[in-house]
A and B are shown apart, each in its own frame.
Chain A
Amino acid sequence: MDLGLNRRRKQQKVIPDGLKELYPHDLNFFTVPPSSEISLSEFEDLAVERLNVLRILAFASQKPVKQFGTEWKNFVYEELQKQNLKKFLRIIKSSGSSNPSELDYQARRADHISHFILRLAYCRSEELRRWFKDRELELFKLRFLELRGASVQQFLEINNLHYYPINEDERDELREQLIDSTGGLFILDNTDFYKVPFSDVPNLVRNRKVFVQSGYAYIPSFELVTCISNIYRHTLSENLIYAFKRMPLLDDDRINHLLHNLNDAYTGKDYSEVNANKSEIQVGNLDKHAKDHYPLCMRHIHETLKANHHLKHGCRLQYLLFLKGIGLKYEDCMEFWRQEFTKNIDEDKFQKQYSYLVKHCYGKVGSMLNYSPYSCVKIITDSVGYGEQHGCPYKQWESTVLKEKLESYGLRQENAIEISEMAQKGHYQLACGKYFEYTRFKENKNVINHPNQYFDESYGAIKREEFE
């Protein structure tokens, strides 16, 4: 991890010739760490600049517009312009590798160094790593999509990614299959197809968006970005873990201080601790809380439990961890679980088959880990099987089912329609925010990212008001 973190301040020296070899392309896979010297103030500036770029992306991705669509892109570019992040604007919008100027090389250098600084700042916990990875991936995808003409193939060659389109004969032979099995709008004869191992594009495969034969996926050129960014995500994941392990070797206080401050600037909340202040949650009040303060996903599970006195495994996990997160004590939770389940089964069976998971979720048995309640991302991406009730209702339910359910909860018809339309467009978290507004009769200021955050903003807010 030689970042050239020299203890003495030195004036930066730029040697354009060296830069030329270091940065042959605008887009960088970040496999080689920088090894030049850099002043502390530049170190800091670059870190903050890139962090701002990533935050713009995070903000843009919460907007109800299509990611990487024109509107989304324009928003990002305007923000970059507004915040005077010119180097990054230059490097994102550039078309690749032809005729770079001195300014291009400076931008490439800034991009390279700042990425590695943030790697250090964001490698220290799973949450941080995930946030950083998601943002960097958005940035990478955006940049890859902006590449034009030959620069795509150049980028692939520079990084030893051997992908070549299948020839016309093969494409003609597979004509029918490619038309049937490839998602998206395209004209077969104008589209190149790449034959790649299916494990390079797991997301395309699992959503059945590509033709798969004998272990190879045939991806259209417009999905090449999915394939390459998946490889990028893998290397970045590994590198972040590597950085995390090497972190203790970095013993410069000034740098550590800076990295820590960047880290603090991240405000996502961890709900894994049973909060002592909140632990006045009583089992007897759960029905009322479910009605008033639960997000739809949890309310549905709660009501299913009350009606059937049984839940499938996925449901049990999702709900137990949520209960832990809102502050239900272990003993109370176990009692609640026992009361419900033993309405259908005997005590002995409960102890044998169902009590273990409660203990497990509260970190009392097994690997004794303190499991975090599931976030929206986790809940949304989890797959839900037959007859299972967990997952995100806005994603899982058919829009008529959702609409009826919302109306049965007392929402006005037009509001229920508005929410189910949002859900249909894939804006699950925004739909959840609307549900909050219409049931709590107040504005939802933050995007809902976590069921426990939802509960906190609903129930916690009341408690705080009472307190004041």
Chain B
Amino acid sequence: MGEYTEELLQELLPLFYSRLFPCNSFYRWLSYGSSATFKLRELSFTLLGDIYIRYQSFESMENFSNELNKHKPIKIDIGAIYNHPPKYKTQIQKFGPVEKELVFDIDMTDYDDVRTCCSGTDICSKCWKFMVLACKVLDAALREDFGFKHMLWVFSGRRGVHCWVCDENVKKFTDEERKAVAEYLFVKKDGHKNILFGDKIHTSLRRALTIIKPYFNQMMFVEQNILGTDEGIKKFLKNIHEEIRIQSEEVLRSVEGSEARWKVFCDYFRTLSQKQSIPKIYKNTIEELMLLYCYPRLDINVSKGINHLLKAPFCVHPKTGKVCIPFNPKTVDKFDPATVPTLTLLVDEINKYDQITKEEEMADGVNSSKIKDYKKTSLLKSITVFEDFLRNIERELKQKRKPTPMEF
């Protein structure tokens, strides 16, 4: 079918929902082992023409699937689990959210001041590395610092990633607990006050630095070339404390090329450090700069509130036609947003598969039409990631609900 264009959306969505959207797994996820839970979940639809319908909820998987096929939303958002089914919201007096996953949203536009390759909605393999680092740093912190186990990482369809933390105890977090975790993982940047951790670097940030370091030089100075231009140098100097700003500029301008400039700056700074002519609170400036450029830039308000909505996995981004696919954070280095399947690609793949099997069946006389449609496409990999994530949750739920055997 060729390239995806926005006009094709309306034509292809019905097919997507009827044949490709993994309704069953989606239902299994939001049920967490109990159909009662699914009924209390707010799902909201955005229909063609930016018509936004909030507080939808569904009785069963069939009900949900039917409505999806009927309305063909261009976007599905997931909200909180409420004390009553959200669709009856107006009839209930004390209607309110009770549980929700802890979510994180990282968007490439927040990196516009540190990336030179693209801006706005564009992304390329160079700036995608910011997302790779964000994913690695955040995933490690959530696991090690907070002991969370069930993270679902999802490509947001255009230029960012989402993370859903789905542990049982996390879903019950109060706004205060969400805020504590979110701000712990949030580092302020220039223009505002600098990161300043004084003479000590918190263990969590130290871990982030170990993750960032192997990428840093290649990414920032070769690919982003942030010290290559006059403007770049000026921007960089704003993050250097006043007392050594002028000398730093001289040092930077003494050589050509981004990477070389970074190297002379580091040497210069270390020499000053050794002579102990750097005030104690600035002694970690190099580490600070690394975090300033590469530490995950969270849209913190999304994480803080229990009732904030976030786009569901497996939605199709209307502008790019790309599916918001889950991915494995362990192999995020290999994830390339450019190869994320689009609606048109998926339809082509199904057709091609059907065409081939039809020919084979004609030849062999065997009927193999029972195969699920998504298995015929490049969506298979991400659905497998999703299924693995589900199995882990379900295994844990089973263990918890099973009464402990008596000991003799």
* A-to-B contact residues, CB < 8 Å: 177, 179-181, 198-199, 202-203, 205-208, 211-215, 313-314, 352, 383-387, 396-398, 400-401
The reply to whether A181 and B204 contact each other, CB–CB distance below 8 Å, is: yes
A-B contact pairs, 30 of them (CB 8 A): A179-B200, A180-B201, A181-B202, A198-B180, A199-B173, A199-B176, A199-B180, A202-B177, A202-B179, A205-B180, A206-B179, A208-B184, A208-B197, A208-B205, A211-B202, A212-B204, A213-B147, A215-B148, A314-B301, A383-B186, A383-B304, A385-B110, A385-B301, A386-B297, A387-B113, A387-B191, A397-B192, A398-B191, A398-B194, A400-B242
Q: Which residues of chain B from 142 to 201 have a CB within 8 Å of any chain A CB?
A: 144-148, 173-174, 176-177, 179-184, 186, 189, 191-194, 197, 200-201
Given contacts A180-B200, A199-B180, A202-B177, contact A384 B192 (CB under 8 A): yes
Interface residues of B in 47-86 (CB under 8 A from A): 50
Within 8 Å of chain A (Cβ to Cβ): is B206? Answer: yes
Number of A-B residue pairs, CB cutoff 8 Å, is 90
Contact: A181 with B180, CB < 8 Å? no
B274 within 8 A of A: no
**Mask of B281-296 contacts with A, CB within 8 angstroms, 1/0:** 0000000000000000
User: Contact between B299 and A212 (Cβ–Cβ < 8 Å)?
Assistant: no
Does the CB pair B183–A383 fall under 8 Å?
yes
* Residue of chain B at shortest CB distance from A397: B192
Name the one of A206, A215, A313, A396 contacting B146, with C-beta atoms under 8 angstroms: A215
CA distance A202 to B177 in the complex (A): 6
Closest to A205 in B: B180
In Å, the complex CA distance between A384 and B187 comes to: 11
Q: Is the CB of B192 within 8 A of A181?
A: no
Q: Check if B301 sits within 8 Å of A180, measured CB to CB.
A: no
A212 touches B184 (CB 8 A): yes
Q: Which residues on the A side are within 8 Å of B176 (C-beta)?
A: 199, 202
Q: B203 within 8 Å of A by Cβ? A: yes
Q: Could you say which of A177, A199, A208, A211 contacts B177, with CB atoms under 8 Å apart?
A: A199
Q: Is the CB of B184 within 8 A of A205?
A: yes
Binding site for A on B (CB under 8 A): 50, 110, 113, 144-148, 173-174, 176-177, 179-184, 186, 189, 191-194, 197, 200-206, 242, 297-301, 304
Question: Which B residues are CB-close (under 8 A) to A384?
Answer: 192
With a cutoff of 8 Å between Cβ atoms, the chain B residues found around residue A211 in the complex are 202-203
CA A383 – CA B298 in complex, angstroms?
12
Q: How far does the Cβ of A65 sit from chain B's closest Cβ, in whole Å?
A: 22
Q: Beyond A198-B177, A208-B205, A398-B192, list 17 extra A-B contacts (CB 8 Å).
A: A181-B200, A181-B202, A181-B204, A199-B180, A202-B177, A205-B181, A211-B203, A212-B204, A214-B144, A214-B145, A385-B110, A385-B186, A386-B297, A387-B113, A396-B192, A398-B191, A398-B194
Contact call A213/B191, Cβ cutoff below 8 A: no
Expressed in whole angstroms, the Cα–Cα distance for A401 and B193 within the complex equals 9
* A425, B78: Cα distance in complex, Å: 42
Q: A205–B176 Cα gap in the complex (Å)?
A: 11
Q: Give min CB distance, B284 to chain A, whole Å.
A: 11
Could you tell me the distance between the alpha carbons of A215 and B181 in the complex, rounded to whole angstroms?
Answer: 10
B169 to A: closest C-beta gap in Å? 8
**Complex CA–CA separation, A214 to B110 (angstroms):** 29
By the criterion CB–CB under 8 Å, are A397 and B193 in contact? yes
Tell me the complex Cα distance, A385–B301, Å.
Answer: 8
- Check B183 against A180 for contact (C-beta < 8 Å): no
Q: How far is the CA of A197 from the CA of B183 in the complex (A)?
A: 17
